[in-house]
Amino acid sequence: MDTLRKYLPILGLAAFYVLVMALRKAGVLTSYYVQILMFAMINCMVTLGLNLINGFTGQFSIGQAGFVAVGGYTSAAVTTLLLPSSVLVPALRPLVFLVSVFIGGIVAGIFGYLIGKPSLRLKGDYLAIVTLAFGEIIRSLIRLIPQVGGPRGFSGIPRYSNLLWIVLFFGGTIWVLRNYIYSSFGRACIACREDELAAGTMGVDTTKYKVMAFTIGSAIAGVAGGLLAHLLGYLHPDQFNYLKSIDFLVYLYAGGAGSMTGSIMGATLLTILPEMLRFLSGWRLVIYGIALVFLMLFRPQGIYGGKELPFLIPKIRRPEGYEGGQ
């Protein structure tokens, strides 16, 4: 039973992948739906990363799109400028792609560290402002780099991403975050969220854990950016303006902060919703705005706030004879 529980997420994702592919082959799902699913999963990853920062550690970052941009542009630069697919034997391409996505994640993580280190010493919404500013500065800097297309956008990126890759990275993100959140690191993060002063008194180095969470969250955004770049085959700096960051915030809080299930639900639902509302044409965003207000009025904690589907909580091993509560 325990073993099953441990591998349930992996099995679930594998089953999901097989199901989608089967429906795709059977012609029920067209590549339109598959593409929306892929976008949804990428958005889920970014939201999950943001959830670690905002939901679990109690900080307030609103510039996540900047890190997606850093990751996306970095990994696209690797596969397009450094090692273009034309110089590679086909067998090497997936490897280069994998490496490039990780490099994108690492670079975004480094940026996260550099930004988090000075601004997370402070309390309050300062991180919010600094991340917002960072996102805009990154965007205006990218425009000035002609090698990645500047304002014309970065075109000709090989389209390596596919459902399998994205499912793998998505699963990997869930796995990493689940293990992180339910480790002593994660508990330290939650302690910071609940009461920073008390956490500090208990010997938790709050700045360290906040910076760590921020770095990991940014790195995940970077990885998602790498996947996005190779899915679209094109990047434009304006794709990552602060309105995009706001989208991720909305996914997070509509889904429910502090819950991985919530992030996944919020991002998935709200990625699909605007597509479903296409028939409304211009009224689409009007309805979306109203829907958001009503969702929060009736479920202020978000769809799944504070709760978690059971398979996302690892079984906690208790020492022999342990009788205390959770």
Partner 1 sequence: MRETLQLLIYGVQLGVIYALIALGYTMVYGIINLINFAHGDLVMIGAFVAYFAAELLGANFPLAIFLAMLIPACLSVAIERLAYRPLRDKPRLSALITAIGVSIFLENFPRMLPFIGPNYRPFPMLIPFKNFTLPTGAVLNSIQIVNILVSVALMVALTYIVHRTKVGRAMRAVSFNKDAASLMGINVNRIIAVTFFLGAALAGAGGVLYSMTYPMIDVLMGIWLGTKAFIAAVLGGIGSVPGAMLGGLIMGICEVVATALYSELGYGSGFVILILILLFRPAGLLGKVKIEKV
Partner 2 sequence: MKRNLLLSLCALLVVTLFGGMAFAADQIKIGVVAPITGQNAIGGQYIKNGVELAVKEFAPDGLEVGGKKYEVKVIFEDNENKPDITANAFRKLIDQNEVVAIVGPDASSTSLAGGPIAQTAEVPVVTTFATNPKVTQVGDYIFRACFIDPFQGSVMAKYVMENLKATKAAILYNNGNDFSKGLTEFFKQSFEAMGGKVVALEAYGGSDIRDFNAQLNNIKASDAEVLYLPNAFFETGLQMNQARKAGITVPFVGGDGWDSPDLPKIAAGAEEGAAFTAAFSHEAQRPEVQAFVEKYKENYGTVPNSNAVLSYEATAIVLKGLKDAGKVEGPALRDAIAAIDIDLPSGKIKFDENRNPQKAAVIMQFTGGNTTYVTTINP
Q: Site for partner 1 (CB under 8 A): which residue of 67, 111, 240, 253?
A: 253
Residues near partner 2, by CB under 8 A: 28-33, 35-36, 39, 140, 143-144, 150-153, 155-156, 159, 228, 232-239, 265, 269, 272, 275-276, 278, 281-282, 284-285, 303
Q: Site for partner 1 (CB under 8 A): which residue of 15, 81, 197, 276?
A: 197
Hey, which residues does 235 pair with through a beta bridge? 154
d(CA 167, CA 142): 29
92 binds, among partner 2, partner 1, none (CB under 5 to 8 A by kind): none
Q: Which is nearer to partner 1, 282 or 321 (CB)?
A: 282
Residue type, 119: S
Contact present, 67 and 50 (Cβ < 8 Å): no
Q: Is 242 in the site for partner 1 (CB under 8 A)?
A: yes
Q: Site for partner 1 (CB under 8 A): which residue of 118, 152, 175, 276?
A: 118
Q: Is 35 in the site for partner 1 (CB under 8 A)?
A: no
Of 7-15, 78-86, 136-144, 180-188, the window that binds partner 1 (rule: CB under 8 A) is 136-144
d(CA 2, CA 13): 18
**What's the distance, Cα to Cα, between the start and end of the chain in Å?**
20
Nearest alpha carbon to residue 131 among 207, 64, 177, 84:
64
293 binds, among partner 1, partner 2, none (CB under 5 to 8 A by kind): partner 1
Q: Site for partner 1 (CB under 8 A): which residue of 292, 309, 312, 313?
A: 292
Half-sphere exposure of 208 (CA within 13 A, CB side): 8
Q: Is 243 in the site for partner 1 (CB under 8 A)?
A: yes
Residue type, 174: I
Backbone angles phi, psi at 205, to 5 degrees: -75, 90
Positions of E strands within 41-186: 154-155
Give the number of residues in contact with partner 1, rule: CB under 8 A.
47
The SS3 assignment for 154 reads strand
- Using CB under 8 A as the binding rule, the residues of this chain from 44 to 103 that contact partner 1 are 54, 60
Rounded to the nearest 10 degrees, the angle between the axes of helix 31-50 and helix 260-276 is 140
Can you give the binding site for partner 1, defined by CB under 8 A?
54, 60, 118-119, 121-126, 128-130, 132-134, 136-137, 140-141, 144, 197, 242-243, 246, 249-250, 253-254, 257, 282-283, 285-286, 288-293, 295-297, 300-302, 305
